Structure 1
Amino acid sequence: MSTTVDQADGALPSARDPAQPFRPPNMALATIGIALAMFMQVLDITIANVSLPTISGNLGASANQAVWVITSFAVSNAIALPLTGFLTRRFGERRLFVWATFAFAIASLLCGLANSMGMLVAARALQGFVAGPMYPVAQALMISIYPPAKRGQAIALLAMVTVVAPIAGPILGGWITDNYSWEWIFFINVPIGIFVSFVVARQLRGRPEKLDKPRMDYVGLATLVVGVGALQVLLDLGNDEDWFNSTRIVVLAIVAVIALAVFFIWELTDKDPIVDLRLFRHRNFASGTIALVLAYAAFFAVALIIPLWLQRNLGYTPIWAGLATAPIGVLPVLLTPFVGKYAGRFDLRVVASLAFIAMAATSFARAGFNLDVDFQRVAMVQLWMGLGVALFFMPVLTILLSDLEPHEIASGSGVATFFRTLGGSFAASLTTWAWNQRTVIHHAQLTEHVPAADPAMRHTVEALGQGDVQRGALVLDHMIFQQAAQIGFNEIFHLLGILFIGVIAFVWLAKPPFAAKMGGGAAAGGH
């Protein structure tokens, strides 16, 4: 039996007129604190992308292992998301947000202090876990402190933060890595996190909250952690371990299958599941969530591969890689307010389809890139992909929430965000694995066509090595590897283009009307 108490951090329930909604002493300062925490958390999803080659080089790790810096954060973040409801009911939204933000700052400090890839991955996993509740709780806090007439502006502000932060991430990460060191991409969070924790704790002191002692779905949580964790480690280690020729990979696969099977069965039959899979009985929720997960996974793959390609294959510095990728955020910043205001006047399936067509077109454009492509063309393709990003999140989120009952909206938002985050994490591992595999295959095929015994070829090798045949052979092999990697890159983007086109089919499985039912919680954020 749960007990419910009013908690206002020292203020007696009777001391506040219940008819008067809570307002912080300084609304602007409270808003800045919450928004800054969100900016910091979303920024960290992309800030490390352009620094991965530098990080792996400094820590003596392979390119495959460097991707763990991204995936460990994403997986831990996804696992923590379903716990948000339990934690807010147990500790209160204000207290959870303050402590999660402070813990994020500590985890960031540990990331910067890491002197091995293992330590960095562990610290990033901790960082991702404590970041899990930050977005949904920030959304709830912003809505609660603003009067109803201004709540739309509050949500729009958070949406703007979640659009701007991923744009700023690669640029800021590149600039810090070039001018200081990669550790500072994490150290900058420490003073910000401490400042935000202090400001929000002070400004929201006295905010009444209902606490209880909810039942915890320990079986669901344990099987989720074990199943998803084993699957992610399998994906990350597979290439290095020669996949199913490795006993470790086979064991991980068995553990993942068993744990996830138990998880799905338990969650479908438990009275109070940690992830409410029964929501997929709703047609629009099921089709919308599948579209969201697939499209976001492809989008996440693009955001990861482009900076790596620019640095490894084209020789860009981290800051120039960040500048080349940044235009993807220009159109979302300009168009998001208009999409939010006017998209509902059209069939949202058409709007979402236009988004996926734009994303597919830019993916096919990248499939035609070569090693001589210039900065302007890379940036221009990124700019036009931003059109797809601007039209993507709002229609798809509205569709998937449209046929849920009012009391299911908050849960549905959390479930969709959970699967979307997992989709991004798995996409990062699978895409880098596929790129490496195709590079190896094409390298072998191209090498077969090099006539080593041909006198003209020997002359070319000598010229490349400036008279040193051995050095010339190494230079030639590097040139072949670069071409092989480029062919692999083009194939990946051709596949991503097909995937974006395929997602359109899932959007059209949904049936109007798409107006969300009144009540429930806030929609999921598109970050």
Structure 2
Amino acid sequence: MPRLSRQTQDSRITMTTNHPNHPPLTGATLALGSLSVGLAGFMTVLDSSIANVAIPTISGNLGVSVDEGTWVITVFAAANAIAIPLTGWLTQRLGQVRLFVGSILLFVFASWLCGIAPTLPILLLARVLQGAVAGPLIPMSQALLLSSWPKAKSSLALSLFSMIVVTGPIVGPALGGWVTDSYSWSWIFYINIPVGLFAAAMVWLLYRKRDTPARKLPIDVVGLVLLIVWVASLQVMLDKGKDLDWFSSNTIIVLTIVAAVGLALFIVWELTEKNPIVDLTLFKQRNFLGGTVSIAVAYGIFFGTLVLLPQWMQEYLGYRAVDAGLATAPLGIFAVIGAPIMGKILPRSDARIIGTFAFIGFAIVYYMRSYFYTDLSEGYIILPTLLQGIPMALFFAPLTVIILSGQPPEKVPAAAGLSTFGRMFFGGIGTSIAGVVWNNRTIMHHEILTQQSSPTNPIFNAQMNTYHSALGLSQQASYALFDHTVQSQAAMLGLNDVFYGAALIMIIIIPLIWITKPGKAGGSSDAAAAAH
């Protein structure tokens, strides 16, 4: 990470801690404090990806479809996105340490509820609670780390924070797959309990006397309610649209209207409210507009496709959950290696150029995946996943430099919070849309492939005869095997379409970066801190 000037460091630490008079921690206390705070942040990031490979298992055990099972991911992301804008108000209302420890303990409780959930609705309610209370954990872990380290080493603290966050995608899928196969899917949530209790106890022990003062502040209740209404309505509409045949269903029509009206009222209210929960005036700045929209759309594509890949591997390639997790885990390797390198390069570079290379890199990876086929070897799955870590290393920090450049110090927390909200919200939306597109394209390809499967087609008859003579199958079994083969191929073609579309969108959003002005090099450390 580049070294901040003393003035910038003082401004940053004052801004993030709201109570700069506490001396930094030293020695073993600093090490233990950093470990405890880092564990809490890592636990939150891990939980956003650890369930990805377990969705087929969870769905089977709870007696629901895999499409319904993906709600386990999307409701967490949506609730987390809604909670993030409340972090600033809650910090001032409760104090940093009390908010942080309380959020950890509630996260542990929600994880326990997830583990014991006997039905999908109860699991989803627990995941909503888990996502909501996780909202303050990432920004608060960043702030507490900064307050723990000497000002001269704040860039090292931010580097540690970035490393903690980036390792989540490496550990999450592999750990989730191993736990699911070796024990039970419930344990992907139970493992949060000892980690969370340890982190909460240590943070309270070490930081309780360093808490920021609490004071009563008004909260934008109307804005919060409108935010919940339009986000929840849109999420449910996207997730249930396929099951209810979209706009032939009155439920989907009502949800769409509620989401649209709620969003419109939310925008009007937030632009006129004296103390808005979300500062929408930030979008008047072209750097914030271009950077936030591009990072949100790109993250929605990244997270949506990240969910589909292990799901396809388990459903159609017969992979165990642990194998699917190990095959997708390498995406974080280059991201971790590249994080400190990025910190040195960024201050001397144009963030727009690096961001452009990131989107081009993502497009190349998705284009490579658009040529997957049904008997693909694991090595060909791992290669683009490994390479995806390179654009990941080039992605977050440069775009956040663009978003935060030119912001006055008092606006940086609001800008970082709103861009994080957009990114997390689009992560949930991207998961829903990716699933819908994959399903629709699979149905289309299935219809095309089965058009020629009639008794009048000699090629089809020859294939049925092969099943009968070579495999000894009955006519009914032969038809079932043929349909399974067609479905597997259709799903593969549908997934290829999703990846091809993702590659195109990554290229299309590049101009959004170039409507912005070059980011200031001095803001790179702020960006690195807020990027996750």
Inter-CA distance 20–384: structure 2 relative to 1 (3 Å threshold): closer
1:23 to 8, 25, 33: 25
Partner of 1:100: 103
Inter-CA distance 463–401: structure 2 relative to 1 (3 Å threshold): farther
> Greater helix percent: which structure?
2
Question: What amino acid sits opposite 1:494 in the alignment?
Answer: Y
**1:264-297: per-residue Cα shift (whole Å, max 9, x none)?**
1111111111010100111111111111111111
Inter-CA distance 522–21: structure 2 relative to 1 (3 Å threshold): farther
CA distance in 1, matches of 2:485, 2:283: 50
Partner of 1:6: none
Q: Does 1:332 align with 2:338?
A: no
Task: Note if contact 2:174-2:322 (Cα within 8 Å) is conserved in structure 1.
Answer: yes
Q: Does 1:405 align with 2:403?
A: no
Question: What amino acid sits opposite 2:298 in the alignment?
Answer: A
**1:331-387: per-residue Cα shift (whole Å, max 9, x none)?**
111111010112221211111111111110010000011012111111111111111
Q: Does 1:55 align with 2:58?
A: yes
Structure 1 counterpart SS, 2:213: strand
CA distance in 2, matches of 1:490, 1:271: 48
Partner of 1:437: 440
After TM superposition, give the deviation of residue 488 of structure 1 in Å.
0.3
Partner of 2:399: 396
Task: Note if contact 1:238-1:249 (Cα within 8 Å) is conserved in structure 2.
Answer: yes
Partner of 1:451: 454
1:297 to 292, 296, 300: 300
After TM superposition, give the deviation of residue 460 of structure 1 in Å.
3.1
Partner of 1:88: 91
1:281 to 275, 280, 284: 284
After TM superposition, give the deviation of residue 513 of structure 1 in Å.
4.3
Percent of aligned pairs with the same amino acid: 44
After TM superposition, give the deviation of residue 461 of structure 1 in Å.
4.3
Partner of 2:183: 180
CA distance in 1, matches of 2:498, 2:291: 25
Partner of 2:313: 310
Inter-CA distance 215–379: structure 2 relative to 1 (3 Å threshold): same
CA distance in 2, matches of 1:165, 1:217: 33
After TM superposition, give the deviation of residue 60 of structure 1 in Å.
0.6
**1:196-236: per-residue Cα shift (whole Å, max 9, x none)?**
11110011021142221111000100000011001101111
User: How do residues 336-355 of structure 1 correspond to structure 2 at under 5 angstroms?
Assistant: 336-355=339-358
After TM superposition, give the deviation of residue 417 of structure 1 in Å.
0.1
With normalisation by structure 1, the TM-score equals 0.94
Inter-CA distance 19–131: structure 2 relative to 1 (3 Å threshold): closer
Inter-CA distance 449–211: structure 2 relative to 1 (3 Å threshold): same
CA distance in 2, matches of 1:20, 1:236: 47
CA distance in 1, matches of 2:473, 2:20: 86
CA distance in 1, matches of 2:334, 2:216: 45
CA distance in 2, matches of 1:522, 1:378: 32
Partner of 1:12: none
Structure 1 counterpart SS, 2:388: helix
Task: Note if contact 1:465-1:473 (Cα within 8 Å) is conserved in structure 2.
Answer: no
**1:220-257: per-residue Cα shift (whole Å, max 9, x none)?**
00000011001101111110011111111111111111
With normalisation by structure 2, the TM-score equals 0.93
Partner of 2:120: 117
Partner of 2:504: 498
After TM superposition, give the deviation of residue 526 of structure 1 in Å.
3.6
Q: Identify which range, 478-487 or 307-316, moves more after superposition.
A: 307-316
Inter-CA distance 442–207: structure 2 relative to 1 (3 Å threshold): same
Partner of 2:155: 152
Partner of 1:11: none
After TM superposition, give the deviation of residue 310 of structure 1 in Å.
1.2
Inter-CA distance 189–448: structure 2 relative to 1 (3 Å threshold): same
Q: Does 1:236 align with 2:271?
A: no
Inter-CA distance 241–235: structure 2 relative to 1 (3 Å threshold): same
Unpaired runs of 5+ residues, structure 2, are 1-18
Partner of 1:77: 80
Task: Note if contact 2:45-2:168 (Cα within 8 Å) is conserved in structure 1.
Answer: yes
After TM superposition, give the deviation of residue 516 of structure 1 in Å.
5.2
CA RMSD of aligned residues (A): 1.8
Question: What amino acid sits opposite 2:215 in the alignment?
Answer: D
Task: Note if contact 1:401-1:516 (Cα within 8 Å) is conserved in structure 2.
Answer: no
CA distance in 1, matches of 2:318, 2:249: 35
After TM superposition, give the deviation of residue 144 of structure 1 in Å.
1.2
Question: What amino acid sits opposite 2:479 in the alignment?
Answer: A
Inter-CA distance 458–374: structure 2 relative to 1 (3 Å threshold): closer
2:486 to 480, 485, 497: 480
Q: Identify which range, 309-318 or 422-431, moves more after superposition.
A: 309-318
Inter-CA distance 234–208: structure 2 relative to 1 (3 Å threshold): closer
Partner of 1:68: 71
Partner of 1:362: 365
CA distance in 2, matches of 1:450, 1:112: 45
Structure 2 counterpart SS, 1:21: coil
CA distance in 1, matches of 2:489, 2:376: 13
